[in-house]
Structure 1
């Protein structure tokens, strides 16, 4: 029992030619037949790889199950016409999508308390200020995050146009 990996390309092609007539001609059955004949433990993909790399050498022993190049002609079917759009729904969608952006409330910029990390309490805003030493805002947080209301709004941002229009669209649907 020799190793399939140690065989040359010509020896592998000869082994496949020998195994092909004894089986169905699929890569799986050729691999199984190679094991029965020579003891080669070959995978289906290894057989396909040999066929792929040396197509001219194995032209007379075709691999069953592979699509042939000109076996099936391309047939074009006519396209199905789409139904005409409902103009009322389209007009409603255009009206909804052109809705004004919601009014974002103006928050007052808090004056930083300039607390060091050691001075921060459990509910203090942790928005950093300055470079050296790093100080923090220190105002009470909003309960949703570790920032006060103003810095929480800065950290989240306004969102995309579709995110800003969600509330308006949900009111329309409801």
Structure 2
């Protein structure tokens, strides 16, 4: 019975997730083209707020604990393990005052409503995992952007998450 409930709730969340991404795609476009990068980032934070609150559909309860107050007056590089599709949503929400720009595989910058647009327009480093030279140049570009904007960076250094969650 639990598997059936999990399947139904999971399907509802995926439907909700997709709908939110499709709705926020044009909102992000308007924010970026009419108001610039900072307002676009704010729209991404609202998008992630909706996605995070949607986890209640699954019965998920999230909490965040910081052992120290994170600085917002200077860029910070955040490094995390990538365990599931939920960790990025939570990370963006928790770090929203730091405006994290992600180091991401370039494949995610195509064809995913809202997510691809955000990666393309935010200044994220879109790396080709088969081309180390391109990856280094892209991360150097991100470093320069962070220096100019005072945004932060976020990276999941192990790359693709594992199917089992094991590291």
TM-score range, shorter chain: under 0.3
Tell me which of the two structures has the higher relative contact order, counting C-alpha pairs closer than 8 angstroms and 6 or more residues apart: 2
Taking structure 2 as the reference length, the TM-score comes to 0.22
| Greater Cα radius of gyration, structure 1 or 2 | 1
The structure where helix makes up a greater share of residues is 2
The structure where strand makes up a greater share of residues is 2
